[in-house]
Amino acid sequence: MKKFDLIVVGAGSGLDIVAEADEKGLKTALVEEGPLGGTCHNRGCVPSKMLIHHADVAETIRNSQKFFIKSKIEAIDFPAIVKGVNGQIDREAEEMAKALASSKNVTWYRQRSKFIGPKTMQSANETFSADKVIIVGGTRTHILPIPGLDKVKYITSTEALRLTKQPKHLVIVGGGYIACEIAHFYGALGTKITILVRRDKLLREEDEEISTWFTKEFSQKYNVLFNTEIESVSQNGKEITAILKGGKQKLIFDQLLLATGRIPNTDILNVKEGGIETDDKGYIKVNEYLETNVPGIWALGDIVGILPFKHTANHQAGYIINNLFYGKKEPVSYHAIAHAVFSSPQVAGVGKTEQDLKLEGAPYKVGRAEYSEVAMGDALKENGLVKVITDEKKQEIFGCHIVGPDASTLIHEVVVAMKTTGKTSAIKKSVFVHPALSEVVRNAFYAIE
């Protein structure tokens, strides 16, 4: 058995830890069967947002008549779009691999590996161990047990970002952010979109008011069937047929995307053989320091199920680096970590939602401002809403939620305020550029009732 100083499972945010260990001369085993960079870089947030920008451009052209400009899209080279984005992604992953290969301290295990005992793993026919282990194992798409699915060529978000042939009619199962972002990408480029949502709203994890606003806007662009589930699917040649529950309606289309949530890779990694505890959904249990129940084993990122965003994982990796290499043990702060959905319209949020506060029974105040109330918002000719939630005295910021153009950028005004003073005065006393779109954020704070 080979002995290392450190094992890092996962080469997304885990690479930050590997790089730090390498600088310190620690013998490190990196376990990663896919390209370096992890889910975000190779099959998630980075390629999806690069592809979505093409959709944003197409949508701008199609909407130009609102500005008395006549224009049209003469052709869309879909294969070139996908090839261009993924070519860049793959080149960057190869550059990471070359940099890693130059290290004398890191051994990269590129086969699927699993725990076979405490702090001990197996990769192919080789076993290895270390006194310290960091698990950054990620998640994968949850595949629903739909009758007939095993005989249908369906895709998940991974394949959706690398299709070289544009579907004519894409049916998406799911109503979360992945479903909405991919619907926007394909729909804006001309694919017919049908979204099947089990509940009555899209983006149900968002603030209820924002979710309702988004659902109304998005449903005007695409065919969204609410309170709908698939009873069975079948495929004949390139044609896929879905029978909807109740048996009274069927859909015929050429591409099926499952965007039905994520599940942790703890089963693939066989973490229980390592004595590592998981919760009832399979996520690794960690304390406030990201320590598992096994001394010397930490976990971070999506596999622990806490605010599963790439920026959260990077944030957590920084704490583990300080803890592991510099003896600066402190609990991870998750205060004011924002998120965004890069659909059209965009959605962004930070802090508590109104439904959170209702469940807590905590008193609160709300301020709202629509994009049309400010000059730049009116110029954009787009609907949008900024919603701010504060304490009863209108002083402490509890949360902010935005739907509309550039929501992913506007939210950072509030993130900075929450991370510094945490007070509404940080926004109210600031002088905003006029007529910038960010004035709508200021107006929402002044509108707190």
> Which string of DSSP letters, residue by residue, matches 68-93?
T---------HHHHHHHHHHHHHHHH
Residue with tokens 């105040």: 365
Clarify whether residues 153 and 47 are in a common domain.
no
Query: Average model confidence (pLDDT) for the chain?
Result: 96
What pLDDT was estimated at residue 378? 95
To 5 degrees, how large is the angle CA 350–CA 139–CA 255?
A: 95
Q: Tens digits of per-residue pLDDT, 360-415?
A: 999 999 999 999 999 999 999 999 999 999 999 999 999 999 999 999 999 999 99
- Judge whether 331 lies within some domain: no
Q: pLDDT tier at 437 (50, 70, 90 boundaries)?
A: very high
For the chain, what percent of residues have pLDDT higher than 90? Answer: 97
Predicted pLDDT at 205: 96
Same domain, residue pair 73 and 134: yes
**Final residue belonging to a domain, choices 204, 226, 260:** 260
- For residues 288 and 419, membership in a common domain is answered with no
Shared domain for 27 and 121, answered yes or no, is yes
Average pLDDT over residues 156-165: 96
Where does a domain end: 295, 326, 357? 326
Per-residue confidence at 349, pLDDT binned at 50, 70, 90? very high
Residue 334 falls inside a structural domain = no
Q: Does residue 198 lie in a domain region?
A: yes
Is 395 inside a domain boundary? yes
Same domain, 166 and 256: yes
C-beta separation of 46 from 36 below 8 A: no
Same domain? For 436 and 362 the reply is yes
CATH code for the domain of 161: 3.50.50.60
In this structure, the answer to whether residues 160 and 238 fall within a common structural domain is yes
Task: Give the residue-averaged pLDDT of 180-190.
Answer: 98
Q: How much is the average pLDDT of 222-249?
A: 94
**Residue 369 included in any domain:** yes
Claim to verify: residue 297 and residue 277 sit in the same structural domain? yes
Domain's final residue, options 274, 299, 326: 326
Q: Kindly report, residue by residue over 287-341, the tens digit of the pLDDT.
A: 999 999 999 999 999 999 999 999 999 999 999 999 999 998 999 999 999 999 9
What pLDDT sits at residue 247?
Answer: 73
| Residues 279, 195 contacting (CB under 8 angstroms) | no
pLDDT tens digits along 78-92 = 999 999 999 999 999
Same domain, 120 and 58: yes
Examine the domain organization and report whether 252 and 271 are in the same domain.
no
Residue 408 lies in a domain: yes
Percent of the chain, pLDDT > 70? Answer: 100
Structurally, how many domains does the chain consist of?
A: 3
pLDDT of residue 449: 87
pLDDT at 81: 98
pLDDT of amino acid 248: 77
Residue 285 covered by a domain? yes
Residue 246 has pLDDT above 90, yes or no: no
List the structure tokens of 395. Answer: 């002083």
Amino acid identity at 348: A
Write out pLDDT tens, residues 35-78: 999 988 998 999 999 999 999 999 999 999 999 999 999 999 99
pLDDT interval class at 30 (50, 70, 90): very high
**Residue 228: its H or E element:** none
Q: How far is CA 107 from CA 12, 37, 104, 271, 394, in A?
A: 16, 16, 8, 21, 54
pLDDT of residue 404: 98
Residue 398: CATH number of its domain: 3.30.390.30
- pLDDT score of 34 more than 90: no
Question: Are residues 105 and 34 located together in one domain of the fold?
Answer: yes
Q: Which domain covers residue 354, as residue numbers? A: 339-446
The length of the chain, given as a count of residues: 449
Whether 319 and 433 map to the same domain: the answer is: no
